[in-house]
Amino acid sequence: MTDKKAGRNTRLVHTGYDTDPHTGALSVPLIHASTFRQKSVTEFGEYDYSRSGNPTRETLEKIIADLEGGSHGYAFASGMAAISAALMIFSPGDHLVVCEDVYGGTWRVLTGLLSRFGIEATFADATDLSAFEKAIIPGKTKALYLETPSNPLMKITDLRAMSALAKKYDLITLVDNTFMSPYLQRPLELGCDIVLHSGTKFLNGHSDVLCGFAVTADKALGKRIKYIQNSVGAVLPPNDCWLVIRGLKTLGVRMEAGQKSAQAIAEALEKHPNVKQVLYPGLKKHKGYEINRAQSDGAGAVLSFELKSTELTHRLLKEMQYAAFAVSLGGVESIISYPPMMSHAAMPPAERAARGISDSLVRLSLGVEDTEDVLNDILRIIE
Ligand SMILES: *Cc1c(COP(=O)(O)O)cnc(C)c1O
């Protein structure tokens, strides 16, 4: 166990679990049991059934809560399961103001599912505080839903200003922290209320587990999410919990490596004649550079860029050797994606264009490969 003053990497390795007291094992025991024997009708143990509580999952839930600076963490079978569970705390008649470039799956849950149960959402530009405030319907609006940096345009939202706005109207602030991870950004410390994750990305980090998390520092809010987790049952299986606990130990070294490459590649591409624009909050000319610096410990390992033609973009996607052309991000292997046909394929072309998602835009998530290899790979193709 570590104290809160230990460094970020020390805490990643030691928080939540050190050594098994029975065997000395350094890795956490993997408990596959679905049920647990009880002593008698008057003496129930700590665990009864794994949907309600599992020791391996609980270890992971404690770790993620601690890393986010929260007190209550819950592990789900996917990011969307975690996000849906958090959104289910709302009731018919409730209204949310949501950042307009929200993750596509979250947009689908809000517009296709929760809307059927009378939970409404208005989408607004979260980089424009007054636009967001205008979308609030006093009395009806119950929450703000944010992502920063946003996907794929890497826009930065001022989390301190947004949580102050939320407090003015007595709203809950939810933040999807997938792109940054608690290693780089801890929204609860900035006044937000619920942090959400697709742990499939940086937290697990090895492109081999689907998982999601919801974390809060408020006991009552934590209990509301736990109630939904236990009711709906989209819990993360023990085996996957074990893999994520292992992956988390290297979150810091993976983030640092990916971020170093992202910064170097962003700077190199910014000067390149065949690159129209580079979107990365680590570049000084990025509109959100100062806000991001003030609220996080880095710019992250994901950048987007636009090449000068669609043809060149398609060539890059086809020929890149050290980044897989795939959906997802946050793995030890670099991944290059094509938002117009992947994350934003469901959006009509005109709407996409209006939001700045052109047919020559790519998103690149940097893994732990050597920076030079990935950069030279890109330069070789775009010349
Ligand atoms: C991938 C992703 C999700 C969804 O998570 P899954 O684990 O795929 O269900 C949510 N938000 C963001 C920002 C993501 O990148």
From first to last of the 383 residues of the chain, give the pLDDT tens digit.
Answer: 566 789 999 999 998 877 888 899 999 999 999 999 999 999 999 999 999 999 999 999 999 999 999 999 999 999 999 999 999 999 999 999 999 989 989 999 999 999 999 999 999 999 999 999 999 999 999 999 999 999 999 999 999 999 999 999 999 999 999 999 999 999 999 999 999 999 999 999 999 999 999 999 999 999 999 999 999 999 999 999 999 999 999 999 999 999 999 999 999 999 999 999 999 999 999 999 999 999 999 999 999 999 999 999 999 999 999 999 999 999 999 999 999 999 888 778 887 888 889 999 999 999 999 999 999 999 999 98
Phi, psi (5° rounding) for residue 62? -65, -40
**Is the minimum distance from the CB of 342 to ligand 1 under 6 angstroms?**
no
Q: How far apart are the first and last CA of the chain?
A: 50
**Is the minimum distance from the CB of 212 to ligand 1 under 6 angstroms?**
yes
Helices 251-270 + 371-382 axis angle, to 10: 30
Q: Which of 17, 66, 94, 103 is catalytic?
A: 103
d(CA 194, CA 34): 29
Pocket test for ligand 1, best of 64, 76, 78, 80 (most atoms within 8 A of CB): 80
| Ligand 1 centroid, distance to 351 Cα (angstroms) | 21
Looking at residue 2, what is its pLDDT?
A: 60
Q: If we measure between CA atoms, which residue out of 303, 301, 312 comes closest to residue 273?
A: 312
Degrees to nearest 5, angle at CA 131 with 289 and 305: 40
d(CA 80, CA 109): 8
d(CA 238, CA 235): 9
| Cβ-count burial 262-272 (b if 16+ within 10 Å, e if not) | bbbbbebbeeb
* Residue 52: both structure tokens together: 């309600």
Q: Active-site residue 201, yes or no?
A: yes
Write the DSSP symbol of residue 215. E
CA dihedral 22, 37, 211, 163 (to 10 degrees): -90
Which of helix, strand or coil describes residue 325?
Answer: strand
Degrees to nearest 5, angle at CA 330 with 325 and 331: 70
CB contact at 8 A, 381 and 336: no
Residue 110: C-alpha distances to residues 60, 85, 114, 201, 376 (Å) = 28, 12, 5, 22, 41
**Is the minimum distance from the CB of 200 to ligand 1 under 6 angstroms?**
yes
Looking at residue 349, what is its pLDDT?
A: 85
Beta strand ranges found along 274-360 (DSSP E): 275-279, 302-307, 323-325, 334-337
Q: If we measure between CA atoms, which residue out of 299, 298, 361, 369 comes closest to residue 331?
A: 369
CB contact at 8 A, 131 and 176: no
Domains of the chain from N-terminus onward: 8-246 (3.40.640.10), 252-382 (3.90.1150.10)
Instruction: Return the percent helix, strand and coil in the chain, to nearest 5.
Output: 40, 15, 45
Q: If we measure between CA atoms, which residue out of 333, 177, 183 comes closest to residue 261?
A: 333
Of all helices (H) and strands (E), which one includes residue 14?
helix 8-14
Q: Active-site residue 47, yes or no?
A: no
